[in-house]
Structure 1
Amino acid sequence: MATPFKRRKTRWGPETGAPGLSNLTSAITAPMTSEQIDAYVMQVRIEEITQKLRFDHVVPANLDRRSPSPPPRYDAWGKRVNTRYRRCRERLEDERHSLVRLAAHAIPNYRAPQGYIRGPRRLITDRVYIPAKDFPEVNFIGQLLGPRGRSIADMNARSGATVAIRGKGSVKEGRGRVRDGPAHIDTNDQEGPLHCLITADTQDKVDKAKALVQAVIETAVTTPEPKNERKRQQLRDLAIANGTFRDDEGRYGIDGAWERPMSTGISCHVCNNGGHIARDCPDRKANVVPWRSTVRLQTNAGQRTGDAVDLACSQFLSEL
């Protein structure tokens, strides 16, 4: 059983809060409606947070009730980015940003507190992990990115969020280190398992992007490669971008066999069908009688001897 936290004895007097924190007027002396009370409480809380940030009194004084610290995270320069002071200050700034936005809509002619700077909107992040270890033969990164990144750009445009691939294997070896980048870059995402990092300003956009990413992963896992329509379309787009696309390349049939398209003016001498030549005829690879022998038997039945090709050559030479 863990022993409770004991405060060290000191000869100094009790700690006092930052100057100005106890000068807030919180007594309501006039009759007010519920909307007015909510607006007044909102203004008091905004002023309280503003004074805490102004006097740099952001870390709570009750050390015995503080929550355990999360695992440390470091930026590209080796500086820790999730210290207790920084986490408490960001929490207060986020609360003040949200309260100021609510007060601007609820209170007419509302003015933000002095020295308030409207910061960027806090983004909502979520992760979708990729089962690369369970299915090592599937190229998830290629199907998510697409030819020249067009597939992931299309998902970003459809959902309104930003989808990025992070984790081991997402960056080629030797390109994952950021030497001269900004200090807020978190390099711990490159050390974790392979996943898609989704970032947006609303939860609705995050949910749309998650659904699109999960659909791609599910299709790549459950659909065989010859029948994967998404991958075939990506290869088609890549061939068009490279200028090597051919419209008569054929397709895969329902049973997974390769089918060549029917072309006019092309017929096979083996099976007498159109769409392919005798060299590509599937009946030629089977155990069937060669077409020259078949023609020779037919010519023998017609009171002629020799191969049909030999007879044609002899007739041509006799005409000369």
Structure 2
Amino acid sequence: MPPAPTQLLTIHQTGQPAPPSTSPMLSPLTSASPPSTQTDPSLTDNPEYLSQLLKDKRQLAAVPNMFMHIERLLDQEINKVRVNLFNLSTRPKMELPEPNGEKKVFQEKVFIPVQQHPEFNFVGRILGPRGMTAKQLEADTGCKIMVRGRGSMRDKQKEDQNRGKANWEHLDEDLHVLIQCEDHENRALVKLERAKEEIMKLLKPAVCILI
């Protein structure tokens, strides 16, 4: 004979017991275990998964500030997949020479091929969601990464208004990435070269097609 179902006793505010329930008791292991928040390793190097995440982000943009925590988690996931997919975290560590001379600010420009590939969102690819890709590059290279030139501002009307004004001279130049580094010259040149190499990887059409 099968065992009798477990009876659950509920006490109401009146202090009187409610009729026994025959609902099966939940396992404490299954009810207490939180859902996993780790990304499936097989997805982090999947371009299709990244495309799906970016599509979700565009759909969320239609209802701004309604799902702020979801937006933040989605941005983190996009950045995680990008870092893995484009090998942003597997670069060999920079070997910096001993400091020599005084510290100065050095810079270099990397021009973006918008005329050859006008359909690609180069700015979004370089900056990443909430600027996380650029911030990761800055942390890895010790350089400051900035997008400058025509088309670098999200607000095109404001860009037109600022063009020709003091401190906005870069808006008369072609779209480019400005890399700056403040360090001793022999060390700054190494950092600038590393940053330039990583920026060039992000400007490949095969990469930008995912944006």
TM-score range, shorter chain: 0.3 to 0.5
Higher RCO, 1 vs 2 (CA within 8 Å, ≥6 residues apart): 2
